[in-house]
Amino acid sequence: MLQINTSTWQYDALCRQHSSNLFFPPATFEKKDDREKREVKAKAVCNGCPVRFECL
């Protein structure tokens, strides 16, 4: 049985506090302006994340 190590860096990631919709496009069409706004918000989360180097 696979055991999850609760001390991994993923548990400290700021993105866990946000919907995955912020980081991935919708399954349907997304307007360019909407995509750019979403990406700016996602990048702001990543830029402030204490584990961004482990993640990216």
The predicted model gives 35-44 an average pLDDT of: 97
The predicted model gives 28-56 an average pLDDT of: 95
Please write the tens of the pLDDT for every residue from 3-27: 656 568 899 999 999 999 999 999 9
Q: How far is CA 52 from CA 28, 33, 35, 37, 46, in A?
A: 28, 26, 21, 20, 6
pTM across the whole model: 0.77
Q: How many residues does the chain have?
A: 56
* Domain segments of the chain as ranges: 13-55
Ramachandran quadrant class, 8 (left: phi over 0; alpha: psi -120 to 50; beta: rest): beta
Report the mean per-residue pLDDT for the chain. Answer: 90
